[in-house]
Structure formats: C-alpha cells, structure tokens
A = this chain, B = another copy of it.
Amino acid sequence: MTIRIGILGYGNLGKGVEYAIAQNDDMSLKAVFTRRDPSTVKIVTENVPVYPVSEALDHASEIDVLIICGGSANDLPVQTPEFAKIFNVVDSFDTHARIPEHFTNVDKAAKESGKVGIISIGWDPGLFSLMRMYGNAVLPDGKDYTFWGKGVSQGHSDAIRRVKGVKNAKQYTIPVDSALEAVRSGANPELTTRQKHTRECFVVAEEGADLAQIENDIKTMPNYFADYDTTVHFITEEELMRDHSGIPHGGFVIRTGSTGEDNKNNHVIEFSLKLDSNPEFTSSVLVAFARAAYRLNSEGISGCKTIFDIAPAYLCKQSPEELRAHML
C-alpha cells in the first residue's frame, strides 16, 4: 500500500513533484489533472492517466493527497480551498502578505470536508520560515536576517521583459558577501535593501533597440530595481539559452543572538540552500508534506496546517523508532 498522490497542474512544479514521487517508495502517482487538453500533456511516468481538471471529483476515491501546483497570484487562492472540499491538499502559496486570508479560506473548507490542507510549503515560505521560527524560539534576544540567491527571480525577469525594446531576459538576485560576513560576525548590522542584495540582468534586445534607454529603464524601475545596485548585460538569444536556461536559487536565514550574564555570549544560527533547480526542490518539499497530510488525516485530523503546525516526524518515511535510533 503506497500513499496515492494526484498532481493538479503540470508545469515546472508539477513535473518536479512527479520526479520527487519516484524517489519515495512509499508513494505512487495516481493521476495528473490539467486545465489544458489532456491529450497534449505528456508526462514522464508510464501508465498514469492525465485527466481534465473538471473530472477531478470523479477520481476522489483513488487519491490520498492532491498536490496543487498552480501559481500564487491567481490559481491557488481559488484552487486550494475548492479542492480541500474533496481532497487532502498541499500547496506552495507564497504571497506572504495574503497567507492569513488563504489560511482562513482553506481551514474553513478542510474542516467542513474533514480533510487536511497544508499551505505555503516550499523553502520561502517553508523551510526558511521554519528556520526563522526555531531561531526566534531558541534565541529570543536576537536578530533575523534573510538573504536570497544567488538565483533567478521569475518576477524580476518578467518585469524586464516588459521593458520597451527587450526581447528576452533573465535576472539574478545576488546576496552581498560583505553583508553576509557582517551578519555572521555578530555585529547585528542594520542593512538597507541596497546593502543586502545586488541584481544582475542578462538582456536580449530587439534589433535596433536603444540599449542605453533599456538599461536606464531597468535600473530606474520602482520597486523592482531602483533600490538596488543593478548590472545590465546585453547578450544574444543563443547566449541566453546556452548560459542562463537553468532555474537555480537559494539563500540564507541567519539568526544572531546573545545569552548569559550581561548577554556577553554571542551565537550564530545559519541555514542555507544552494539549489540547482528552484521548482524541483520546492516539489521535493511538497511531496514530504503530502506524506504528512496523509498521516495527519489518517489520525482523524482536519483543517488547515502550515509548516509550523506539523511535527517533523510526520515528514519521514521511517518509523519513530527508526528515527530515534538513527537520526536523533
């Protein structure tokens, strides 16, 4: 008996979930649901059906947990509460400011259906949130720092593509080494946006475009680039494809704090990720939490949960005895 997983949405994230399931022998992929024409969606796993999302309800009894792989802007606010009425669900909702509202909606649906809905899973929100929380719990007298990168920011790449004269672009967010070192030293620096990260842009211009104008439009763009030191490189479409087709990302969560007599002892807790593929890593986290969703619901628990609410042992295939003997 394996935990039967359904995937809703087969983009980078959904495909990553498919690969991650194959790495966990207590799980199996039962179906993929898509808003596209199912005949156009070719998945990797053999003998697994692709259904239109409209038919998901018909397959409720075949699926233990549905992993919802839509976008946070428009898909998940609707899909997660909707499907929590029928399935145990897991999503990667990452609009930090709207998490409380999303939680309320998913909680209501999941409590009514008796299912579990786990939201905002991935690495930020997700593992990074967890590290911030453990750091605050352990060192209450301290300071938090989060740095992102080096990695591709999809939102910033999209913003560049909307600039007049730009054909294609990739943007990297890069943490500033000297800022990281200052934090690690325990100096508790106050860092401005500009001091924490730089932005590096690789831009393919349309033929005859005004490069100086493009560079200026990018560097002065409010919210996205104006507050950062930004570098713009013009390259060819071929170079973009050859050197910048990956989706790496990562970052650092650091908690510094002090303890003891006159707070004289300083401590640094650091967590970092270096990821070749942002969506595949996020997918791997989603799959571990799908295991938790299944187990929690098997124990009769329902409602919305976040990474803060789930005892770590629920994520692991191993029994509590094995975990204590080999990992503690």
Q: Which residues on A are within 8 Å of B, measured CB to CB?
A: 16, 19-20, 23-24, 44, 96, 99-100, 103, 120, 125, 127, 129-134, 136-141, 184, 259-261, 264-277, 280-281, 283-285, 288, 291, 306-313, 315-317, 320-321, 323-325, 327-328
Contacts and interface: CB of A to CB of B under 8 A. Distances in A.
Contacts of A288: 137-138
User: Main SS of chain A's interface residues?
Assistant: helix
Identical subunits present: 2
Given A260-B277, A272-B270, A316-B137, A308 B285 contact: no
Contacts of A139: 284
Nearest to A274: B268
Given A24-B140, A259-B277, A328 B312 contact: no
Contacts of A315: 133-134, 137-138
A184 to B, nearest CB: 7
A99 B324 contact: yes
Given A272-B270, A325-B100, A281 B306 contact: no
A184 B96 CA distance: 30
Contacts of A281: 138, 259, 267
B327 A141 contact: no
Contact of A273 (B130, B141, B268, B307): B268
Nearest to A270: B272
B320 A133 contact: no
Contact of A125 (B20, B260, B291, B328): B328
Contact of A259 (B20, B306, B325): B20
B312 A134 contact: yes
A73 B315 CA distance: 32
A308 B284 CA distance: 19
A277 B260 CA distance: 9
Nearest to A25: B140
Nearest to A269: B273
A184 B325 CA distance: 26
